[in-house]
Amino acid sequence: MIPIARPCLGEDEIREVRRVLESGMIAQGELVRKFEEEFASYVGSKYAIAVSSGTAALHVALISLGVGPRDEVAVPSYTFYSTASSVILSGARPVFIDVDIRTGTMDPRDLASKINERVRAVIPVHIHGHPADLDSIREVIGEKEIYVLEDSAQAHGALYKGSKVGSLGEAGAFSFYPTKNMTTGEGGIITTDDEYVYERARAIRDQGQVSKYEHYYIGFNYRMTEINAAIGIVQLRKLDKFNARRKEIASIYTQELSGLVDTPFVAEWADPVWHLYPVRVREKRDEAVNRLRELGILARPAYPMPLQKQPVMSKLANREYNYLHVLFEGLDYSEIETPNAEKLTKELLYLPIYSCMKDEEVEEVVEKARNVFKSL
Ligand SMILES: Cc1ncc(COP(=O)(O)O)c(C=O)c1O
């Protein structure tokens, strides 16, 4: 069986975790601070604030930017659930924007048609590790006071016109879930150049405290542990190597499979890091996934539906489904159509990719995928 993804951990991570456990200092401390400094420096942002997940990073970033009830936040309709759930958790309302069919990232033209005076932030997602079209999004925003929060959960180290993603918006949010380009077990981090956002985010992730037992803000316990940070410090040092291997695997797939299926498009502004390797199978996608799985290749279909079609999105005004229901009266997102996102949910298939994938595994995926795609 070749999994779709897996974390690539070694003796270094084990040694560093052991050291933390033996020290007895396991809650947020010096290693978290060190990880934050090193991550900020890697991304090229002034500050980084480590938290307990990518979802927490989005949530804290939104609140720190000042987003809340009566605000709206533009999100792409093809992405992981928490890009939109974090907006809802902040009390604001998501505005679902269709995606570019080629890259799967937010379509600036659809954003232009939906932006309104209540929109306080836009969350472009660098989906699959491919950067979103940030300059075109900025052009749509123009002079309006609207913040860009880059959802970089799938794109550690990806470049947009030569700059690392997460350094280009007012804030960035990363996830360190085990299948991501680098991991801390569970974890996330916010990046920003803005001192005000930094100070707020630091407090809000830690019960709103600015000093011990002085609670200035309504906050959460979203702290990262020293155990997670110890893993993160080691993984960050390996990240460029990890990404180089992902790029190598992606280029082999592209070379071997183009002509049989639509291999991923790379925009001229992008140097992607392939968190996922997507191909478009225009017909019989599900059959292709099932046949690959029968052959021991654990390929995965796209996210099952545009985000606004998720069951909860038609029930946001209902107390049973949303504890913030009073903020969503009369809203039902499920009627909104985003045709490109819809198409991607039906056609995308993800092939296994992870940095410690062996050459034999890559060859096996290529051989089996070629056979399956040829016979569709
Ligand atoms: C695009 C995107 N945003 C946000 C998240 C949330 O990250 P986490 O799972 O660490 O909460 C993920 C990861 O799963 C993601 O892929």
The model's pTM: 0.98
Give the pLDDT of residue 151.
Answer: 99
* DSSP label of 328: G
DSSP calls for 138-194 = HHHHTTS--EEEEE-TT-TT-EETTEETTSSSSEEEEE--TTSSS--SS-EEEEES-
Residue nearest to atom 7 of ligand 1 (CA): 54
Range 71-79 average pLDDT: 98
Answer whether 184 contacts ligand 1 (Cβ < 6 A).
no
The rounded Å distance from CA 55 to ligand 1 centre is 6
C-alpha 153 – ligand 1 centre gap (Å): 5
- Which H or E element spans position 58? helix 54-64
How far is the centre of ligand 1, averaged over its atoms, from the C-alpha of 108 (Å)? 22
Output the pLDDT for position 100. Answer: 98
Mean pLDDT of 263-279: 98
What's at 165, amino acid-wise?
Answer: V
Indicate whether residue 75 lines ligand 1 (CB < 6 A).
no
Q: Write the single-letter amino acid at 324.
A: L
Q: Is 345's C-beta closer than 6 angstroms to any atom of ligand 1? A: no
User: Residue 95: pLDDT band by 50, 70, 90 thresholds?
Assistant: very high
pLDDT tens-digit series, residues 145-186: 999 999 999 999 999 999 999 999 999 999 999 999 999 999
Average pLDDT over residues 307-335: 95
> Is 105 near ligand 1, meaning CB less than 6 Å away?
no
Q: Strand 93-97's sheet: what is its strand order? A: 47-51, 188-192, 171-175, 147-151, 119-122, 72-76, 93-97
pLDDT band at 38 (very low <50, low <70, confident <90, very high): very high
Averaged pLDDT, 119-124:
98
pLDDT of residue 332: 87
Q: What is the pLDDT of residue 308?
A: 97
Percentage, residues of the chain above pLDDT 70 = 100
User: Mind listing the domains of the chain with CATH numbers?
Assistant: 11-234 (3.40.640.10)
Q: Is 86 in the pocket of ligand 1 (CB under 6 A)?
A: no
What's the pLDDT tens digit per position in 190-203? 999 999 999 999 99
Is the pLDDT assigned to residue 114 strictly greater than 90? Answer: yes
Q: How far apart are CA 132 and CA 32, in angstroms?
A: 29
Name the residue of 177, 186, 273 to mutate for ligand 1: max ligand atoms within 8 A of Cβ. Answer: 177
- H/E stretch holding 83 reads helix 82-89
Residue 161, pLDDT score = 98
Q: What is the mean pLDDT of the chain?
A: 98
pLDDT tens-digit series, residues 8-28:
999 999 999 999 999 999 999
With a pLDDT cut of 90, the percent of the chain lying above it is 99
Verify whether ligand 1 is closer than 6 Å to residue 177 (CB atom): yes
175 within ligand 1 shell (Cβ under 6 A): yes
Has residue 294 got a pLDDT over 90? yes
